[in-house]
C-alpha cells in the first residue's frame, strides 16, 4: 500500500487572488509558495498561515535535496535560498516549536467517524490543508456543499516533475534468506489477490487509509470505502437525498464512481518513491534550520553548512 503527498486548497483565498482551484491538479514548491505570497499581499495586515504545520523542514522533505544514486546534493541553490528567505517571514502555527533538541509539533486530531469539522470551520487563514489519502474518503462527495472551504486533493510535485509516493505497507526479501522463492511466490499471490480487505478493518483503522497498488484490489477496496463513506455523509446531512429511491440510488452510484475515478487518477499519476531518512533530517539538516529560524545564522551559512554535510553523507 502507498501514500501520497497531496494538499487541499483554500477556495476563498484562491478565489481572492483570481485562481480557479478546479483547474489545479498539481503544485510545484515555487507555485505553492507563490500563491501564498499573493494571498498575503492581498490581505494586508491579516495573518495568513501557509498550512497548519508549516516549518522550513517541509522544503527538504518535499523537494528531495540529495540523490545517493547520482551522488548529487541540491541544497545551496538560488531557488532554495529564495524559499528560506521567504520562510523566515511565514508565521508558524502555535502548535509548532523550534528547540535545540528538535522540532516539537503538537498535532490536534479529529475523530468521530464523520466529516472533519475543519472543512467547514472558519479557517480562511490557512492557504493549504493536508489530507491523508483515504482518511477523508468523502472529500469528492462534499465539494459542492455550500459551506465547504477546501478543494479536492492536489499533488505537490518537485521541480524535477516527481510526483512522489511513500510506501505504507511493503514486503522485503532478505538477501540471505533460504526461502526466497517461497517469498516471491507469496508476493505474486498478493499482487493477484483482488478481494477488498475493508470488511476486515474497523472503519477508523489506519490500514484502510492508504491505496493498494494491486489494481483490482484498489478498485474493489476503494469502492467499498467510498460506499460506506457515502452512507456516513447521508447520515451527517452533508449529502442530500430525496424520497425517490431510484433517483437516490442512481445519484449514489454516479457519485461513488466519480470519486473512484478521481482517486484512481491521483494514484496513477505517481512516479517516484519518496524515502525520507529521518535521521538525516534530524542530525544533518535541522541543527542549521534551528539556528536560521531563531536568528542565530544567516541563509548563506545555513545552506552552505547543510550542503557540505550532505555531500559528505552522500559520498560516504
Based on the domain organization, do 246 and 135 belong to the same domain? no
Based on the domain organization, do 44 and 143 belong to the same domain? yes
Based on the domain organization, do 32 and 130 belong to the same domain? yes
* pTM score, whole prediction: 0.88
Based on the domain organization, do 209 and 60 belong to the same domain? no
Based on the domain organization, do 84 and 201 belong to the same domain? no
Region 303-315: mean pLDDT is: 96
pLDDT tier at 26, thresholds 50, 70, 90? very high
Q: Kind of pairing, strands 164-167 and 272-273? A: parallel
Based on the domain organization, do 217 and 187 belong to the same domain? yes
Does residue 167 have a pLDDT over 50? yes
Tens-place pLDDT, residues 109-156: 544 456 777 788 766 689 999 888 998 999 999 999 988 999 999 999
CB pairs under 8 A, 24+ apart, for 216-223? 217/193, 218/264, 218/267, 219/260, 219/264, 220/194, 220/195, 220/196, 221/196, 221/197, 222/134, 222/137, 222/260, 222/263, 222/264, 223/196, 223/256, 223/260
Chain centroid to CA 236: how far? Answer: 26
> pLDDT above 90 covers what percent of the chain?
62
Based on the domain organization, do 158 and 170 belong to the same domain? no
Quick one: pLDDT at residue 298?
A: 96
Based on the domain organization, do 170 and 228 belong to the same domain? yes
Burial of 119 (0-12, 13-18, 19+ CB in 10 A): buried
Based on the domain organization, do 133 and 180 belong to the same domain? no
Flag the least confident range among 22-26, 58-62, 79-83, 199-203: 199-203
Q: Could you list the residue range(s) of the whole structural domain that residue 184 is in? A: 166-273
Region 64-69: mean pLDDT is: 86
Based on the domain organization, do 42 and 177 belong to the same domain? no
Most confident among 169-183, 230-244, 255-269 (mean pLDDT):
255-269
Region 165-172: mean pLDDT is: 82
Do 68 and 314 contact (CB within 8 A), yes or no?
A: yes
Tens-place pLDDT, residues 287-296: 999 999 999 9
> pLDDT above 70 covers what percent of the chain?
94
> For residue 48, what is the domain's CATH number?
3.40.190.10
Based on the domain organization, do 135 and 284 belong to the same domain? yes
- Can you tell me the distance from the alpha carbon of 47 to that of 172, in angstroms, rounded to the nearest whole number? 47
In the chain, the number of structural domains is 2
Does residue 202 have a pLDDT over 70? no
What is the strand order of the sheet 272-273 is part of? 2-4, 164-167, 272-273
Based on the domain organization, do 181 and 265 belong to the same domain? yes
Amino acid at each position: 500500500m502507498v501514500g501520497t503527498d497531496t494538499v487541499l486548497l483554500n477556495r476563498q483565498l484562491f478565489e481572492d487572488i483570481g485562481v480557479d482551484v478546479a483547474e489545479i491538479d498539481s503544485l510545484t514548491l515555487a507555485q505553492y509558495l507563490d500563491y501564498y505570497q499573493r494571498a498575503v499581499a492581498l490581505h494586508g495586515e491579516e495573518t495568513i498561515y501557509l498550512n497548519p504545520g508549516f516549518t522550513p523542514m517541509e522544503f527538504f522533505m518535499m523537494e528531495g535535496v540529495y540523490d545517493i544514486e547520482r551522488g548529487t546534493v541540491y541544497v545551496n541553490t538560488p531557488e532554495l535560498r529564495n524559499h528560506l528567505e521567504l520562510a523566515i517571514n511565514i508565521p508558524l502555527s502555535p502548535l509548532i516549536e523550534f528547540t535545540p533538541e528538535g522540532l516539537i509539533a503538537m498535532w490536534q486530531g479529529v475523530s468521530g467517524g464523520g466529516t472533519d469539522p475543519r472543512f467547514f470551520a472558519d479557517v480562511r487563514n490557512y492557504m493549504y490543508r493536508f489530507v491523508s489519502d483515504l482518511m477523508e474518503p468523502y472529500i469528492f462527495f462534499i465539494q459542492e456543499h455550500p459551506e465547504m472551504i477546501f478543494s479536492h486533493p492536489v499533488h505537490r510535485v518537485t521541480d524535477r516533475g516527481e510526483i512522489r509516493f511513500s510506501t505504507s505497507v511493503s514486503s522485503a526479501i532478505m538477501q540471505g534468506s533460504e526461502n526466497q522463492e517461497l517469498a516471491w511466490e507469496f508476493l505474486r499471490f498478493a499482487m493477484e489477490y483482488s478481494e477488498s480487505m475493508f470488511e476486515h478493518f474497523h472503519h477508523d483503522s489506519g490500514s484502510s487509509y492508504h491505496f493498494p497498488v494491486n489494481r483490482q484490489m484498489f478498485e474493489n477496496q476503494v469502492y467499498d470505502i467510498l460506499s460506506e463513506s457515502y452512507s456516513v455523509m447521508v447520515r451527517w446531512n452533508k449529502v442530500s437525498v430525496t424520497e425517490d429511491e431510484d433517483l437516490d440510488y442512481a445519484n449514489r452510484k454516479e457519485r461513488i464512481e466519480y470519486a473512484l475515478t478521481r482517486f484512481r487518477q491521483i494514484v496513477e499519476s505517481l512516479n517516484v518513491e519518496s524515502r525520507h531518512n529521518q535521521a538525516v533530517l534530524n542530525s544533518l539538516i535541522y541543527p542549521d534550520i534551528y539556528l536560521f529560524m531563531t536568528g542565530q545564522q544567516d541563509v548563506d551559512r545555513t545552506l552552505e553548512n547543510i550542503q557540505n554535510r550532505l555531500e559528505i553523507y552522500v559520498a560516504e
